[in-house]
Structure 1
Amino acid sequence: MTVRFFHTSDWHLGQFFYNHSRQYEHEQFLAWLIEQIKQKQPHALLIAGDIFDVINPASSAQKQLYQFLADAHAVAPHMQTLMIAGNHDSGYRIEQVEPLLSKYNAKAVGVIHKNTEGQLDLNRLLIPIYDEQQQIVAWCLSLPFLRPAEITGINEQTSDSKDAIAHLHQQLIAEAKRRKSVDQALILMSHAHMQGAETSDSERPIIIGNEEALSTTLFDEVIDYVALGHLHKPQKVGQEHIRYSGSPIPLSFSEENYKHQVLEICINPNLESSDRLQMQVLAIPRSVALHRIRGEMHEVLQQLKDLATGEIESIDQREYVDIEYYSLTPPPPNLRQQFEQALPENRYRLVRISRQYLASEQDASNAHTLQLEPPTPVQLFQNVWEKQGYAADDEVLKDFMSLVNEAQKSLEEEPNS
C-alpha cells in the first residue's frame, strides 16, 4: 500500500522580526499550503516541531494554527495532521488541546510519557496513518524535542541523556517493527540537531545533556523516511531519505537565499528499496523579500537607490532591508536619515544598520561590527545576565521570552483610552 504525505517544520508562528510581526507572511504560507493540500489530497501532514516561536505564544499565533487545522480538514477530511513539539514549543501546551485537535483529525506529541508500569509509553509515540478506506498504510514514530528531564532515569538503560536517547529509539523502532505488516511504511518524525547538517544563525544551539548533535545511526534501516525539524535550511543528512524540510519563511537574514519548501513524499513498501521512495519539492512562494546591502557608504547609498520602486500600502507587506557599511570614520549623526532618504518611498522597512569598523585597510581580519539599532529586550537581558557572571542558559532565555510575550499580549489586550 502507498502512503502520501507532506513534510514541513519550523513554522515559528508568532515570530517578531526586528520588532515586526510576521503574521502576514505566515498567513500567505498557510493559504498556499491549504491550496496544496486541496490539490494533492495527502494521507497526512507532518509538522516536525517549532510550530510556535515561543513556549507561551500569543493568542493570534494560536488562532493561526487552529484556523489552519480547521481549513485543512475542510478541504481534505481524511488527511491526518501529525505534530511534534520542538525546542521552541511547550510540549504540554500543544497536548492540552487534544479534544480540539481530534475534531480536525490532528494529533500532537509534545512530551515523552511513562505508562502505568513506569516505563516508556510507546503507544502515544506510534501513530497509524490511514488511507481513504481507513486501512493503515504507515506508522509514524513521533519523537518531540527530547529534554533530559523527560527521558533520563526511567530505567537502568537511561542513566544519562545519550543512553536514554539511544534506548528510546531502539525501543520505539522495535515496537514499530512488531506492529507493521510488510506492506506498511515506517516514518520517523523527530525534532533534533543531526551531525553533519548545516545551521543558520536564527537557530538556538541544541545541546542535549552536554552531548553534541545526534548521529543518524540512531535510525534503523527499516525506517523508510526520517522527517526532521529544527534546522531551517532544507537538506538531506547523509542519505536521501533523512531530511530537514526547513522553515517556510526566512527567519533571519542568513536565510535570505534558502529555497523554502514543503516536501511531498510517496512511499510504496512493496517496491524495491531503490524505487519505493518518491519525493517532490513544493517550492513556497516568498511573500515579503529580504535585502542585504553591503559596501562602503557611497556604494550602499547607490544600491538603495537602485532597489525596485512602487509603493506598498501595508507596512506588514513591505520588504526588509539590512545594511552593513564599511568605514574608517565614525558614523555621521544623520546616518539613518541618509539611508531612509535613499530608499524608494513607502516600499521598504530598514530594520538593521551596522558598521564594519576596520582598524586599518590592511587589517580587515580584526573587523568588528557596531550595531546602531536599539537593542531588543532579549539582547538587554543577555547582556545583564552575562555581566552578572552567569553562563548562557537556553531555558532561562526561553522563560524570559515568555515573560516578554506575556507583557506584549497584555498591552495588545488593553482597551484604548
Structure 2
Amino acid sequence: MHVLVVHNRYASAQPSGENKVVDQEVALLRAAGHRVETFERRSDDIAARSLPGKAAVPLLVPWNPSVRRELAARLRAQRPDVVHVHNVFPLLSPAVLAACADAGVPAVATLHNYTQVCPPGTLQRDGQPCTECVGSSVPLPAVRHGCYRDSRLATVPLAVSLTANRRRWWTGVERFFCISAAQRDVLVRAGMPAERLAVKHNFVPEPDVRRTGPGEHVLYLGRLAETKGLRLLMAAWDEIADGGGAGVPLVIAGTGPLEAEVTAWAVGRDDVRYVGLYGPEECRRAIARAVAVVAPSTWLEAFGLVVVEAMAAGVPAVAAGHGAFTELVEDGVTGLLHRPREAASLASCLRRITDGPERNQEMGRAARLRYERGFSPAVGLERLVEGYRTAIAGRTEILGGNK
C-alpha cells in the first residue's frame, strides 16, 4: 500500500505524544513493507520567519492556499492509495483536505484530541471540564474566555477554522480514527458522523527493557502543565510525605509551563527528583524501573500514551478515573484509578500501589498481558491497514456511484 502521511510537527522544546505516534506508525508501516512518504510542516520553523511572516501565521490557521497547491500537485504526481492526516495546526490547515479532493485521493484522519468540537482541543477551561462549545456551530464561548493560551486574540483563528471547515472535515474524510471509545462518544454526541468514526487505539512498540523487580520510584513522565495534573500530584505527594512518605521517591521528567514551579517544589527534598526532559531511551529505562507510572490529568485525555508504555514494560499505572483512562486501566487489576481532581484520592492510590510489592507485581503482569492483547505493534498494524482499506473502498464506491 502507498500511504502519504500529513502532519504539522509540534515544537521540539516539549515532549509531544502526537509526534511520537506519527513516527511510530510510519516506522511500523514501512517495516511491514508498505510505501510511506510524509508531507510535513514544523512549528519549530516559525521562529526563523521574518516578523511579517510570523504575523501572518494566524491567517494560515483556517486556510493555507499554498499548502493546497503544493499537496495537490504532489498527490497527482505520486498517486498514493490513501492520505493519512494527523495535526494540521498551525501551518498546514484544513486545506490539505481540499488537496485530497482535488487529486481524488481518499483521506483518513487520526483525531488526537478534541479540536473538532473545541478550539484548543482540551474540553477544559480554568482547570475544570468545559463543554460549552460542544455541539455549537460557532464556538463563541472559547473566544470570549480566551481558551487557547488564555488569549482571545490567539483563540480567534482556531474558532474561525473550526466554524469555516466543519463541513469540509466531516464530509472530506472517509474514516476518522478515534484513539479511544471515550473520545468517540464525545464526538458522536457533538454531531460528528458516527459511521465515519472508528476506534483505533494507539499502539506502543515492544520496549527493549521491562521491569524485572519491584521498582525503585514512582514516575511522572510528560508535559509539565496544569491540565496534566501536576499541581494535583504535588499536593497528593505532600500529603503522603506528611504521613511518613511512600518509601520510594517521585521522579518527574518533562518540560512545560510549570517547570519553574516544579523545580522550586523539588529543591531540598530527598523524596522528589525533577530530572528535566528525558530522551526516548531514558524514558523507556525510567518506566522499566518504576513501581508505578502516575497520570493524574485533570482534562479528559483522549488516550494516555504513557499508561500504555508502562503496560508494555509490565508496570501498573495510577491514573485519573475519567476520559480514556477508564478503558485503558482496569481498576485494581492493571493499575488504580483515582477520583479526578481529588488530591486525597490520588494520595490514597499512590500509597496502595507502593505498599504491597506482591500485589503491585501481579498488577504489572496483568498490565503486560493487556498490552499484548490490545496495544502491540501487530494489533496496531492490523487496525491501521483495516482503516485504510475501508477508506479506499468507500472512495471507490463513491466514484463508482458517480459514473
TM-score (norm 1): 0.32
Greater per-residue helix proportion = 2
Greater per-residue strand proportion = 1
TM-score (norm 2): 0.33
